[in-house]
Amino acid sequence: MWSKIPNLQGLRAGRNWLREVAPDRQERVRRKYDQGVRKIKRALAQDEEVLRTFQMIVGQARFFGRVDGLR
C-alpha cells in the first residue's frame, strides 16, 4: 500500500509541472495581469496624478522584467 503513495504523488507532481510549463499558461497570466491593471486604472481615473504615477510604475516594472529576462 505504501509503495503506491509515492507513485501517486509523482503523478500529481507531473501533472502540475505540465500545467505550469504549458504554453498557454503565460497567455493566461498575462491576460489576468492586464485585466488587473485595467481595473486599477479605472479606479484611479478620477485622480490624474495618481493614475499617471501608477502608469509610470507599471511601465518601469515591465522594463525591469525585460531586463531581468535578458540576464
pLDDT attached to residue 25: 76
Residue 13 is assigned to a structural domain of this protein? no
Residue 5 is assigned to a structural domain of this protein? no
**Higher local confidence (pLDDT), 1 or 43:** 43
Position 17, amino acid: W
pLDDT confidence of 6, banded at 50, 70, 90? low
Residue 20 is assigned to a structural domain of this protein? no
Residue 36 is assigned to a structural domain of this protein? yes
CA separation for the pair 37, 42 (Å, rounded): 9
What does DSSP assign to residue 7? H
CA separation for the pair 4, 53 (Å, rounded): 55
pLDDT confidence of 7, banded at 50, 70, 90? low
Which residue range(s) make up the domain with 41?
Answer: 25-71
The count of structural domains within the chain is 1
CA separation for the pair 59, 66 (Å, rounded): 11
Per 3-state DSSP, what percentage of the chain is helix, strand, and coil (rounded to 5)?
90, 0, 10
pLDDT per residue over 9-60, tens digit each?
566 666 666 666 666 777 888 899 999 999 999 999 999 999 999 999 999 9
